[in-house]
Amino acid sequence: MGENDLVLKVTDVSKSFSGVQVLNRIQFELKKGEVHALLGENGAGKSTFMKILLGIHTADSGSILFKGKEVHFKEPYDALQAGISMIHQEISLIPNMTVAENIWVGREKQFYKHGFIDRKAQLAKTRELLESLKVSIDPQAMVKNLSIAGMQMVELVRAVSYHSDIIIMDEPTSALTQSEIEVLYRVVKGLAEDGISVIFISHKLEEVFEICDRVTILRDGHYIETRECAETDMPTLIRLIVGRELNQMFPKEEAPIGEEVLSVRHLCRSGVYEDISFQVRQGEIVGICGLMGAGRTEIMRGLFGVDPVDSGEITVRGNRCKIRSPRDAIRCGLGMVTEDRLQLGGIRILSIKVNMTLVYLKKLCTAKLFVRKREESSRCREMMELMEVKAASVNQAISQLSGGNQQKVIVGKWLMNQPDILILDEPTRGIDIGSKSEIHRLISNLAKKGMAILMVSSELPEVLGMSDRILVIREGKIVAEHNRGDVSQEILIKEEFGAS
């Protein structure tokens, strides 16, 4: 293989966010006309890497050679113009426009005739493009009337219409049926034959063997290996994806496990998750793992009343609870540290104090109305000390804190209310190692004091290290349950991916 065959050559690209190294000297090569899979666990650095390619983020160091020339894109539009386009998991089309209009949106100028858009010419060109790709979609159809697969196909066609050399596809098959997947495979193979290179991000290993030529594996922000698909097999890939030894960072301390506190039976929300049943006992940490999009967060949101559930029964300490809103959940003794710190966790523009006492506030009121301010401040300071929050004062806005400190404030908010059951959704995502182990120690201490804990995490070592019991979620169902020490990372990965 000569250097000329390479469309893209990435050397030593590194990136850190506020002190956390997310990419460490990434290597990547893409040949002309190849379909190249990019594999790795959640948080391995795949999406950050792609965002750097597209110019959404800037690399701290390293070089990107695109068609032999070093490039530094400032925004995705530059990358698109140069010939790199990405098809995201979320559809980014305009629903109330036709297929043809969507494909050429922003580039109508080329169809101008006497200052107006020549719709016939636009339509003809769209037809031509669709036929060349053997895609059977009516160019005059409204995008909102298409299936997800159809919309994805339109995005693909649009990418081709930009004369892209590289098309990046992020889990394109996750929302498709088997026959739609076949069509997508055919189109992707056709693109490759035409000399377009495809970067294929996927969680499904079978599909990698089906359509990819080569595969590159990332793990914890490091480049691991690139292999020819024909020369490797599934167990090898799994071993490469997992790789690391279970490190000793987060051992849970032994805690006496008491009676059952929370029992969930047949929780169901159609199309999202079904028949979810499990129990959590006093002092127990139940870890919940699964791939992104498997329904872990949705189940927790349903349990906590953030989203409605269709059916199911929730019992806390033997009493049936009707949970229709987070207020009900809080009344039943639940607390929830949400996955999305910015959207749901904290109120960024408000102070540590306001955030920390929000749940507990009513119990700090005289005459059920007036906040006892001195007590509020002192309780807040106590909690800050307990949580080791580093901040100038209780009146500092949480937007000025680091991710780790923000998370501690949010955990503190729930602890102040002393829940019986604490749900932690990705409690350590995106925070530095130091804060991470502090949060682990805290969780462990809470269990020791008798709190029942449900912990969702994408990091398997965290799940394995912290949990007394582990539930694996795949496609909205609990597919496996393991006791502490009975399971290895390889088995969990296999169950998450659904590989036999």
Partner 1 sequence: MKEKNQERRLGQFLVNNKAIVIFLFLAIVLSFATDNFMTKTNLLNMVRQVCVMSVMSVGFTLILASGSIDLSVGYMLGLVGVFCALISKIAGLPVILVLLFSILFGMFLGFCNAFLFLTFKMPPFIVTLSTAQIFRGVTHLLCDGTPVSGLPDAIIAIGQDYFLGIPVQIYIMVIVAVVMAVFLRSTYLGRHAIAMGGNEEAARVSGVHVKRMRYIVYIIMGACVAIAAIIMDGRVASAQPTAGAGMEMDAIAAVVIGGTPLSGGYGNVLGSVFGCLIVGLINNGLNILNVSSYWQWIAKGALIIIAIMLDVQTSSLIKATKKRKA
Q: Which of 80, 330, 332, 389 binds partner 1 (CB under 8 A)?
A: 330
Instruction: Indicate whether 343 belongs to the interface with partner 1 (CB under 8 A).
Output: yes
**Structure tokens belonging to residue 387:** 């949580």
Length of the chain: 500
Strand partners, 14: 61
Q: How far is the CB of 498 from partner 1 (least distance, A)?
A: 31
Q: Which of 306, 386, 479, 491 binds partner 1 (CB under 8 A)?
A: 306
Number of residues that bind partner 1 (CB under 8 A): 29
Nearest one of 91, 93, 125 to 111, comparing CA atoms:
125
Nearest one of 491, 496, 479 to 203, comparing CA atoms:
496
Q: How far is the CB of 309 from partner 1 (least distance, A)?
A: 16
**What DSSP letter does each residue of 341-407 carry, written as one string?**
IIIII--TTSBHHHHHHTTTGGGGEETTTEE-HHHHHHHHHHHHHHHT---S-TTSBGGGS-HHHHH
**114 vs 374, beta carbon nearer partner 1:** 374
Is there a contact between 267 and 286 (Cβ–Cβ < 8 Å)?
Answer: no
Instruction: Indicate whether 348 belongs to the interface with partner 1 (CB under 8 A).
Output: yes
How far, in Å, CA of 196 to CA of 160, rounded? 9
**163 vs 362, beta carbon nearer partner 1:** 362
How far, in Å, CA of 423 to CA of 411, rounded? 10
Q: How far is the CB of 376 from partner 1 (least distance, A)?
A: 10
β-strands 166-170, 61-66 pairing: unpaired
Q: Which of 347, 375, 382, 445 binds partner 1 (CB under 8 A)?
A: 347
**125 vs 341, beta carbon nearer partner 1:** 341
Mask: binding to partner 1, 413-432, rule CB under 8 A, as x and -?
A: x-------------------
Is there a contact between 110 and 65 (Cβ–Cβ < 8 Å)?
Answer: no
* Interacting residues with partner 1 between 385 and 404 (CB under 8 A): 400
**276 vs 359, beta carbon nearer partner 1:** 359
The CA angle 272-277-279, to the nearest 5 degrees, is 135
Angle between helix axes 148-161 and 178-193 (nearest 10 degrees) is 10
Q: Which residues of 8-38 are buried (b: 16+ CB within 10 A; e: fewer)?
A: bbbeebbbeeeebbbbbebbbbbbbbbbbbb
Q: How far is the CB of 420 from partner 1 (least distance, A)?
A: 15
Q: How far is the CB of 355 from partner 1 (least distance, A)?
A: 8
Q: Which amino acid is at 179?
A: S
Is there a contact between 9 and 29 (Cβ–Cβ < 8 Å)?
Answer: yes
Instruction: Indicate whether 350 belongs to the interface with partner 1 (CB under 8 A).
Output: yes
Q: Which of 140, 325, 437, 483 binds partner 1 (CB under 8 A)?
A: 325
* Interacting residues with partner 1 between 359 and 378 (CB under 8 A): 359, 361-362, 364-365, 369-371, 373
Instruction: Indicate whether 449 belongs to the interface with partner 1 (CB under 8 A).
Output: no
**339 vs 496, beta carbon nearer partner 1:** 339
Q: Which of 83, 290, 346, 476 binds partner 1 (CB under 8 A)?
A: 346
Residue pointed to by tokens 């053997």: 134
* Interacting residues with partner 1 between 1 and 40 (CB under 8 A): none
What Å distances lie between residue 258 and 248, 276, 446, CA to CA? 26, 22, 14
**217 vs 422, beta carbon nearer partner 1:** 422
Instruction: Indicate whether 283 belongs to the interface with partner 1 (CB under 8 A).
Output: no
How far, in Å, CA of 368 to CA of 362, rounded? 7
Instruction: Indicate whether 332 belongs to the interface with partner 1 (CB under 8 A).
Output: no
Mask: binding to partner 1, 182-221, rule CB under 8 A, as x and -?
A: ----------------------------------------
Interacting residues with partner 1 (CB under 8 A)? 304, 306, 325-327, 330, 336, 338, 343-350, 354, 358-359, 361-362, 364-365, 369-371, 373, 400, 413
